[in-house]
A = this chain, B = another copy of it.
Amino acid sequence: MSSTAVAPPACLRRPLVVPRRFMFGPGPSNVPPRILEAGANPILGHMHPEIFEIMSDIKSGIQYLFQTKNSMTLALTGTGHTAMECAIFNAVEAGESVLTAVNGIWGERAADMAERIGARVNTIVAPPGGCFSLEEIEKALSKHRPVLFFLTHGESSTGVLHPLDGIGDLCHKYNCLFLVDSVASMGGAPLCMDKQGIDILYTGSQKVLNAPPGTAPISFSDRACQKIFNRKTKPVSFFLDLSWLANYWGCDGKPSRSCSLYKLITFQMLGLENSWERHRKVAEYFHDGLENMGLKLFVTEKSARLPTVTTIVAPPGYDWKEITAYIMKTYNLEISGGLGPSVGLVLRVGLMGCNSSKANVDMVLTALKNALKHCHKSRV
């Protein structure tokens, strides 16, 4: 019998106490009791018939959410970062050209990932809060001839909702796959994968879907599969190799081998158009309320404002950290500062999924008003 040298830590004897909060930052959002309870179901085996049925239902749910008929549609165990790597690892081989659109942190992240696997990476850069025109995108596609073009639909670091129409066609004209990150927008703003010619699309579970973090829905078009299944080299990751994932999820027509037991995603989304419309209306109501208070929105172009995550120009004369701390302390409510290019420039408020309601807007507006009253203001 061996004996232990490291003693059991006393901290693990304390009962776990997790406070309830209003999660109105850029994510994770609140998870409603119905979904938390679904996660407390017993564990099933990865080869039990019921789990294949649940996975098939999840696949149908993602196809609806993404508005796609792609057979290669599944959910990964992991975060949005996992899905971003899954897309890039599978679609790109070392030495190939990749183009990423950078108007916030996520385009930079995608460029970093592609560089790590030895791709030749070029970027087009827009100022934080800005978008890219079709002309700018075509010019870059024509110049760099990438195999993959990355764009963020909902850029949560700047609060931009990027238009998607026409980009898929441009990409295909240049024999390039169109990869879209919709982590912060999916379910909260219109997006139709097939109609908009998107080849690879992914999102996360912890934003508009109101599920716990750790599951990432992803889908691949036939055009994407065509390239991926004709690679010369294996993807760097076994865990994210689409040929394995496709079989786990019964996407390749062969009998499923097995799968890790994925956390269940219980979609709030039955009524996708209703969800888009609610997020749009609630965001407008919120934006009007902010402007009536004398606050400014970071994204000046109205149609480019992300309805799920709002970026507010940091109120002049205030320390933004004091404002978020005051609101957390007084209201038990999370809003956050900037990220990447918007650090120090903005406050960010996320109202996603079940959190997207006028009542919650009123609560945030009241909290902001009182914060501006009570926090220290220097002469500007």
Q: Which residues of A contact B (CB under 8 A)?
A: 1-9, 11-14, 16, 18-21, 23, 25, 28-31, 36-48, 50, 54, 56-57, 60-61, 63-64, 67-69, 77-79, 81-82, 85, 109, 112-113, 115-117, 190, 192, 194-195, 206, 212-214, 234-239, 260-261, 263-264, 266-267, 269-273, 276-277, 334, 336
Contact = CB atoms under 8 A, between A and B. Distances in A.
Contact of A277 (B1, B12, B37): B1
B261 A5 contact: no
A375 to B, nearest CB: 19
16 contacts: A1-B190, A1-B276, A4-B273, A14-B57, A18-B41, A19-B42, A28-B43, A30-B42, A31-B43, A43-B212, A48-B334, A79-B260, A109-B238, A112-B238, A116-B238, A206-B261
A239 B85 CA distance: 8
- One complex includes copies of this chain to the number of 2
B44 A18 contact: yes
A303 B1 CA distance: 13
Contact of A236 (B7, B16, B116): B116
Contact of A8 (B237, B266, B271): B271
B16 A264 contact: yes
Contacts of A263: 212, 214
Contacts of A50: 18-19
Contact of A31 (B42, B212, B237): B42
Contacts of A109: 238
A193 B179 CA distance: 43
A48 to B, nearest CB: 7
Contacts of A85: 237-239
B236 A67 contact: no
A62 B235 CA distance: 31
Contact of A61 (B2, B9, B19, B21): B9
Contact of A64 (B7, B42, B45, B261): B7
